[in-house]
Amino acid sequence: MTNVTRPFNFSAGPAMLPKPVLEQALAEMINWHSSGMAVMEMSHRSPEFKLIAEQAQRNLRDVLAIPDNYKVLFLQGGASTQFSMIPMNLLRGSKEADYFNTGMWSKKAIAEAKRYCKVNIPVDSTDNKFTTVAEIDNLNPNAAYVHYTPNETIHGLEFHNIPEVGDVPLVADMSSTLLSRPIDISKYGLIYAGAQKNIGSAGLTLVIIREDLVGHAMPNTPTMLNYKTHVDSDSMYNTPPTYSWYIAGLVFKWIKNTGGLIEMGKRNKRKADILYATIDNSEFYNNPVAPAYRSWMNVPFILKNPELDKIFLTEAKEASLLTLSGHRSIGGMRASIYNAMPEEGVQALIDFMIDFEKRKG
């Protein structure tokens, strides 16, 4: 089983998982650690699952160096549910919040927040078609929090520095960038991420929240949408996504054993650098994002002649390079190169792109 060669899958999510993680999951599938049970068959209240859950949290805290005054929650509902939980829990009596608008996912978060409060937009990249980020110059002093999307998965736009927002809690949708490099958690009030990009399998949503922001939900907040419910019950108020929690735990351990986030960051930067260089050195491929904001995780590009898109995708698939078509809303191509994408995968894509250009350019 270990020597099966797998194609390189550039899916934006659900995305590739590290091969050692899949192999361990396979080895443990039917009988986890001599328990006689598959992880999927365990009660979430059993001592076995408790161990899995606690180890996962410990390894995540280690890998991200999460300070003690932050809680880690393992929830369901995807990042999209956080779009409503955030205003419901963090407005704390205020009626205003700041949201950066830097792409499709920002927009969705904004649309949901508008149901609960007045949204001020201190940074709007609509006019440059989400290819860069202007200076932040009008933060609202009355905002209960500032929300932004550090990596826009669809447009391939990423912040490489944490925005300066003073004492207002900074909230970040890190769905497609968490664990891609070291980050300073203490700069944030709340971080959330769906697992299916860079963390594990779909069905799990991670929330990292500073303690003082817990316990201020709006009066009519449903129990399941109140962070306090999940903090008070160690994310076991109801049945959590046990298998996804377990897979995420294997990924955290894999990161730890592979050199942690410093090593992930180095690898990810190298992968992104060689792919963008290939695009920039060609007359045939183009990426419109300003170099300072190019994503290390999602690299969208277009072909000079869009009539070749279909052929590019077909031939790429034949060359074992999967899921390269761009998001349905913007077309073109997109290579998602999260932690699990090996450097050989990016090199194989580059070799294919150069050869394709030679033949069709």
Ligand X SMILES: *Cc1c(COP(=O)(O)O)cnc(C)c1O
Three-state DSSP state, 274: helix
- Taking the mean position of all CA atoms in its chain, how far away is CA 169? 20
Binding letters toward ligand X, positions 94-113, x by CB under 6 A: -----------x--------
DSSP 6-47: --EE--SSS----HHHHHHHHHTSSSGGGSSS-GGGS-TTSH
Minimum CB distance to ligand X smaller for 78 or for 87: 78
- The CA angle 89-183-129, to the nearest 5 degrees, is 75
Instruction: Identify which of residues 226 and 295 has a Cβ nearer to ligand X in the complex.
Output: 295
3-class SS at 251? helix
- The minimum distance between CB 182 and ligand X, in angstroms, equals 19
Q: What percent helix, strand, coil does the chain show, rounded to 5?
A: 40, 15, 45
Backbone φ, ψ for residue 259 (5° rounding): 110, 10
**Contact call for residue 158 and ligand X (CB under 6 A):** no
Would you please indicate which residues are annotated as catalytic (active-site) residues? 105, 173, 197
Q: Which C-beta is closer to ligand X: that of 122 or that of 194?
A: 194
Q: Which residues within the stretch 160-219 sit at the binding site for ligand X (CB under 6 A)?
A: 173, 175-176, 194, 197
Number of residues that bind ligand X (CB under 6 A): 12
Give the count of alpha carbons within 13 A of 5, CB side only. 6
Cβ distance to ligand X smaller for residue 177 or 278: 177
Contact between 79 and ligand X by CB under 6 A: the answer reads yes
Minimum distance from residue 104 beta carbon to ligand X (Å): 8
**323 near ligand X, rule: CB under 6 A:** no
Least distance to ligand X from the beta carbon of 12, Å?
7
Of 18, 78, 87, 326, which lies in the binding site for ligand X, with binding defined by CB under 6 A? 78
Is the alpha carbon torsion for 297, 300, 301, 306 positive or negative? positive
The footprint of ligand X (CB under 6 A) covers 13, 78-80, 105, 149, 153, 173, 175-176, 194, 197
